[in-house]
Amino acid sequence: MDPDRVAHAVHSLLDLIARLRGPNGCPWDKKQTPSSIRLYLLEEAYEVVDAVERATSEDLCAELGDLLFQVVFLSHLGAEDGDFDFLEVTERIIEKMVRRHPHVFGDKTVENAEEVALKWAEIKRAEQGAAVLSSSSLERVPPGLPALLWAHRLSERASKLGFDWASSDGVYEKVLEEVEELRHAMRDGGRDQVAEELGDLLFSVVNLARHSGFNAEDLLRQANRKFLERFKAMESRLNAADITLEGASSFQMERAWEAIKSEE
């Protein structure tokens, strides 16, 4: 990678945003605040995730650019307020990554990725100031994450503090226990109890996914995409038989759905 080209590209992006925010810039960009653009930041991040899942390099390149713009834009707003600028953001992340990878940039050694994760957690706790209580440690997991990912990170953090099942078998038994509690709630409980038991079941399933080496957020996104593709195929099959989705019977939709599954 050409260092001069990198420097030129970064400076050009910084200058572009400064012009957008300048006296003769864009009225829309000039009125934005960190609070007003936070949803755009989330949207761009999810579009990056979607491009990764679809394995489309051209789209991924474009979406990463959109996300980078939001990061640099926020950095510019920080500079306007005198809090920080893009240079400080960049220097701080470099410093942190070097500090948290002593096995790469220092004299420490690790055996595998799992040990890296443990050392990372130790270094992070030291950065935050000696020992911290489990509750305060969990509170550092951003609550603005999607619910499944939040549950994954909460249980993952608790696990690193020693609060976890010994194996996935124990988590599976917990899932079965929650299913039984949900069954009783649906039979004898009220709406609030059913809602609570459904939540407990979802949280247990997230833990089962984590113990099995998966992330429930990723798994559900994959399941959503599979459902979407099957539904589109079912609709096409019905249309080919001159049956509209609105006019199809439950039996016709189920038959078309099963046919799609069998062809897969």
Question: What is the spatial distance between Cα 207 and Cα 171, in angstroms, rounded to a whole number?
Answer: 7
> Over the stretch 77-98, which tens digit does the pLDDT of each residue have?
999 999 999 999 999 999 999 9
Q: List the one residue out of 22, 38, 39 whose CA is nearest residue 30.
A: 22
What is the per-residue pLDDT across 250-263, written as a single tens digit (0 to 9) for each?
999 999 999 999 99
pTM: 0.64
Share of the chain above pLDDT 90, in %: 75
Q: How far apart, in whole angstroms, are the C-alpha atoms of residue 104 and residue 123?
A: 14
DSSP state of 162: T
**DSSP classification of residue 82:** T
Spatial CA neighbour of 15 closest among 91, 72, 61, 94: 72
Residues 6+ apart with CB under 8 A from 212: 168
What does the pLDDT average to over 190-206?
96
C-alpha 94/C-alpha 235 separation (Å) is 50
Residue 119's alpha-carbon distances to 112, 126, 159, 214, in angstroms, are: 11, 11, 14, 21
Taking CA 120 as the corner, what is the angle to CA 114 and CA 123, rounded to the nearest 5 degrees? 145
* Residue 21: both structure tokens together: 């925010």
Kindly write down the DSSP assignment for every residue of 84-133, as one continuous string.
--HHHHHHHHHHHHHHT-HHHHSS---SSHHHHHHHHHHHHHHHTTS---
Q: Judge contact between 20 and 29, C-beta under 8 A.
A: yes
Note the pLDDT of residue 131.
47
Using alpha carbons, select from 168, 167, 201 the residue that is nearest to residue 182: 201
Give the tens place of pLDDT for each residue, 117-127.
888 878 887 88
Average pLDDT, the chain: 91
What pLDDT score does 226 carry? 93
Residue 48 has pLDDT above 60, yes or no: yes
Closest CA to 200 of 187, 183, 188: 183
